[in-house]
A and B are shown apart, each in its own frame.
Chain A
């Protein structure tokens, strides 16, 4: 906080500076509000659509909410073919486990490569970068074949465990350490007699908290919205995830097909992610506070 005041003092030296600041603030807020409008517009549309019945949705685009919110909510929540509360729980279990594993082990791997000198260090780094570029779409098919062979269908392990090896998350952690993690801290910890694992868990992880929070959000969202892989591996009704349920409603037979219910389910599926996002983004700020200790 002390930093802030000093900077502001530097700026408040002249009157001209204050006017300039005023103008740039107006400009910044205008752009921010425009972007916020653009982003919120589609949510507004989604909410409006979730208040319209199937027949009203048939009439096409509209920005005026209608009175069928509760009806859609009821038909989605109590739908006989999909158990939404259960689906949300399933999706949550998978998403939270895989995002925790992805971030922790990526940070660990990045730390291993960033902080230690060993023979295959550069090879390992290049290798991970290379596999990051393999299009996931095609190896997915072989992956599913493998899961079928080993009887791992309707099992969450193939959806959770592979996230330990997330090249993209690793790459981020590595780059982040590159820009902010001073090795002196590690050395100092060693001098104090800390074990390597202790150093990583108690010193490096807190400094890396903003990065971990960022990637945790991304992994959580990616896992939460993943349709293809869970769709291929899961067919027991009580194990299905939210995207599979949305797809199930969309391919319902013509008698049951109800766009209002589909929009409602899409809306419902976003709420938990927004909550998780707001919750985790607090750690970005906290992490910065912890990280700044180093300065």
Chain B
């Protein structure tokens, strides 16, 4: 009797839980006339731009409500996912209208029913946006779900003085010529080593360059884990770089790596976009110990990007026109986009605006790069960037591979064990991926 009561109770409770979990139906995609514009973000960056450059255009009867949750412990995505799951039944004032996504996890949202076709909302002109930013926000059928207010082409950032020592020149065109393929990159690394330099400061420095240029996805149609040739090439090159001491064994943000940015650093190059050398190479910019001006950029072996934030429209938004207007403002409104470049140090997702800065060496000159016009370099390489073969699993697959391989480079485990640990990590993280 007692047992039966418990069993019944369990069934009842389970049923409750299932109702909470399901309840998904095809909802009407968007509407207008909402009085509250809900925007989900993980920090205040976009809020700052929004308030400076757009807030005055908001209709007076619409209230903007920012829901900012940090990305620590997956908090941001967890709360966003819950809100999107509840979207159909949420009251008008609680519906998510806009949310932000990073390159690392945009596919999860763009390739889902939780986002809305921005063309239907009223964003129709993509001619000035960089192709990869549009591809990134598209679902598997090619429907565009969002736009990016930043473009993050990533360059090879080299020390001019070391380039002179190793290559005999610090001229960006000649340096690019010497480094335009991986085999050249490797032979320069060997020369640099002979002269007492490291080629890169972290084993993970070149990872994004390879992974952005994969010819197949991490996970295939049968949900099987696949090692692309580019990934295998990265592993092989990094094994060799670590063994021959062309690079260091720490992560890109760790102190041993970033210490190499000081004047007494011995590293030939780093990889990164404008935001990286503007805001994250603070050690190189240090007034006493840094070496501002001793840097320059070129494309390097392969075009790639790093980071960026996309604005996505949530399915079920009740402020469709306003959402589209915001998206247009931060991509197609030349006034606002120019202000993002001049006041906020952004590289714009607008080819026309970028071209005006690229053409103007006085406006485009960057003191940190010894007066080089960075926009011109980025503008030339941005069209070569691809967004192909991405999956919703990429973020943890990429990070997991790097972290597990680092244990091999640090001498904790053998190469085979590191790969086995990586596969186990994937098995325990993603139940649906088949790992052989």
The short answer to whether A and B are in direct contact, CB under 8 Å, is yes
Q: Determine whether A295 belongs to the interface, using a CB cutoff of 8 Å to chain B.
A: no
Q: Mark B345-379, 1 if CB is under 8 A from A, else 0.
A: 10000000000000000000000000000000000
Interface size class, chain A? 20 to 34
Contact of B44 among A60, A81, A148, A232 (CB under 8 A): A81
- A145-B20, A231-B75, A232-B78 known; A254-B44 Cβ under 8 A: no
CB-defined contacts of B73 to chain A, threshold 8 Å:
227-228, 231
**In the complex the two chains form, what is the Cα distance from A207 to B86 in whole Å?**
51
User: B61 in the interface, Cβ–Cβ < 8 Å?
Assistant: no
Q: Which residues of A contact B79 (CB under 8 A)?
A: 232, 235
Closest to A59 in B: B289
B67 at interface by CB-CB < 8 Å: yes
Within 8 A of A (CB), among B283-303: 283, 286, 289
Q: Is B8 interfacial (CB-CB < 8 Å)?
A: no
Q: What total of chain B residues lie within 8 Å of the partner, measured CB to CB?
A: 29
B279 lies within 8 A of A251 (CB): no
Pick the contact of A248: B43, B45, B275 (CB < 8 A). B43
Give A197-237 interface residues, CB cut-off 8 Å to B. Answer: 227-228, 231-232, 235, 237
A248 to B255, CA, bound (A): 23
Which residues of A are found within 8 Å of B42, using beta-carbon distances? 251
Q: What is the distance, in angstroms, from A81's C-beta to the closest C-beta of chain B?
A: 5
**What B residues does A235 contact at CB under 8 A?**
67-69, 79
Among B42, B69, B70, B259, which residue has the most Cβ atoms of chain A within 10 A?
A: B70
A residues with a Cβ closer than 8 A to B are: 54-55, 58-60, 80-81, 142, 145, 148-149, 227-228, 231-232, 235, 237, 244, 247-248, 250-257
Chain B residues with CB under 8 Å of chain A are 17, 20, 42-45, 67-73, 75, 78-79, 82, 86, 255, 258-259, 275, 279-280, 282-283, 286, 289, 345
Would you mind naming 27 contact pairs between A and B with Cβ atoms under 8 Å apart?
Answer: A58-B282, A58-B286, A59-B289, A60-B255, A81-B44, A145-B82, A148-B86, A227-B73, A231-B70, A231-B75, A232-B75, A232-B79, A235-B68, A237-B68, A244-B70, A248-B70, A250-B70, A250-B72, A251-B42, A251-B70, A252-B43, A253-B43, A254-B275, A254-B280, A255-B279, A256-B43, A256-B45
Q: Which 7 A-B pairs have the closest CB atoms?
A: A253-B45, A254-B279, A251-B70, A247-B70, A247-B72, A81-B44, A235-B67
